[in-house]
């Protein structure tokens, strides 16, 4: 294993439980070497997405190699885009068009293997082609 | 120097999500192309979702194939993970 910084993963969901649970699953499969930050729910705990929570998660997940963000549905994408329009993060930040659970797992494994933001983004987006059965 | 290598192992447990992740992370570190063959299915060992999609279970024979400059090392690593990740009775 190299000591180089891994790409971080941010999981943006309408539900805090969904973001946290997906982070837990991806972390287990990916072997625990990747920073996965869940950003789920509103600040009051309700269902929705919070730009402040996503901002905090991106900062938390960035170990110096950049971050790939996976949104769950609809307005998660709008929240992430609004954040990226108003703030410049120090490292590269990419928004993935990918299925939430499969994309999170594939992205985490790609990051654990030392992939850069482009490789991790590609792994997440390729997840839509994976068959479950 | 490019080469190819192949080895097989009989699983002593089901190939669950966690060992699939270990396999894919390890496979991705080799330059060689690495494939797993189980029954009629052949998948890229570097794709965790494809490895999980194999649905490989205890008693099944898995063949590891690699082609490239570090094929031998890749096959040895994959067989090691498959042996370790699927303990008897697991």
Kindly report, residue by residue over B57-72, the tens digit of the pLDDT.
Answer: 999 999 999 999 999 9
Which pLDDT belongs to residue B87?
57
What domains can be seen in chain A, in order of their start residue?
8-128 (3.40.50.510)
pLDDT tens figures, A66-123: 999 999 999 999 999 999 999 999 999 999 999 999 999 999 999 999 999 999 999 9
Predicted local distance difference test score (pLDDT) of residue A4: 83
Query: Which pLDDT tens digit goes with each residue over A22-74?
Result: 999 999 999 899 999 999 999 998 999 999 999 999 999 999 999 999 999 99
d(CA A120, CA A34): 12
Q: How many CA atoms lie within 13 A of B33 on its CB side?
A: 8
Nearest to B48 by CA among A56, A31, A118, A13: A31
The β-bridge relationship of strands B3-10 and B61-68 is antiparallel
C-alpha A40/C-alpha A34 separation (Å) is 19
Q: Report CA torsion sign: B20, B23, B27, B28.
A: positive
Question: What per-residue confidence (pLDDT) applies to B81?
Answer: 95
- Determine whether the interchain pair B21/A126 forms a contact, defined as Cβ–Cβ distance below 8 Å: no
How large is the ipTM? Answer: 0.87
Give me the residue spans of the domains in chain B: 3-85
For residue B86, the model assigns a pLDDT of 62
Task: Find chain A residues with C-beta within 8 A of B15's C-beta.
Answer: none
Candidates B21, B24, B53; nearest CB to A132: B53
| Residue ranges in chain B modelled with pLDDT below 50 | 88-90
List active site positions of A. 14
pLDDT band per the 50, 70, 90 thresholds, residue A131: confident
Q: In the prediction, which pLDDT does B84 show?
A: 83
Which chain A positions have a beta carbon within 8 Å of B53's beta carbon? 130-133
CA A76 to chain centre: 12
The confidence score (pLDDT) of residue B1 equals 56
pLDDT at A3: 60
Can you give the pTM of this predicted structure? Answer: 0.92
Please report the pLDDT score of residue B26 as a whole number: 96
Interface test with B, best of A1, A7, A113, A131 (most B CBs within 10 A): A113
What is the DSSP code (8-state) at residue B20? H
For residues A18-48, one letter each, b for 16 or more C-beta atoms within 10 angstroms of the residue's C-beta and e for the rest, the string is: bbbbbbeebbebbbeebbbbbbbbeeeeeeb
For the stretch A73-111, what's the b/e string if a residue is b when 16 or more beta carbons lie within 10 angstroms of its beta carbon? eeebbebbeebbeeeeeebebbbbebbbbbbbbbbbbbb
Q: Say what the pLDDT of residue A15 is.
A: 98
- Cα(A20)–Cα(A39) distance, rounded to whole angstroms? 8
The answer to whether A14 and A95 are in contact (CB under 8 A) is no
Catalytic residue among B7, B9, B12, B16: B16
Superfamily of domain B3-85: HPr-like (3.30.1340.10)
Res A1 pLDDT > 50: no
Instruction: Please tell me the distance from the alpha carbon of residue B54 to that of residue B76, in angstroms, as a whole number.
Output: 20
């Amino acid at each position: 294993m190299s000591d180089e910084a891994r790409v971080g993963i941010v999981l943006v969901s309408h539900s805090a439980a969904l973001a946290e649970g997906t982070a837990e699953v991806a972390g287990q499969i990916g072997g625990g070497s990747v920073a996965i930050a869940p950003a789920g729910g509103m600040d009051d705990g309700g269902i929705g997405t919070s730009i402040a929570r996503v901002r905090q998660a991106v900062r938390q997940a960035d170990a110096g190699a950049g971050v790939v963000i996976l949104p769950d549905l609809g307005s998660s994408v709008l929240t992430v885009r609004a954040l990226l329009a108003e703030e410049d993060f120090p490292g590269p930040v990419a928004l993935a068009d990918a299925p939430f659970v499969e994309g999170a797992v594939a992205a985490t494994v790609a990051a654990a293997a030392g992939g850069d933001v482009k490789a991790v983004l590609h792994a997440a987006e390729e997840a839509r082609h994976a068959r479950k059965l | 120097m490019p080469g190819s290598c192949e080895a097989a192992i009989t699983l002593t447990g089901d190939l669950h999500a966690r060992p699939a992740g270990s396999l894919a992370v390890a496979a991705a570190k080799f330059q060689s192309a690495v494939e797993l063959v189980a029954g009629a299915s052949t998948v890229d060992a570097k794709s965790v979702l494809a490895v999980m999609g194999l649905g490989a279970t205890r008693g099944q024979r898995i063949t590891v194939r690699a082609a490239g400059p570090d094929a031998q090392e890749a096959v040895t690593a994959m067989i090691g993970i498959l042996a370790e990740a699927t303990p008897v009775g697991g």
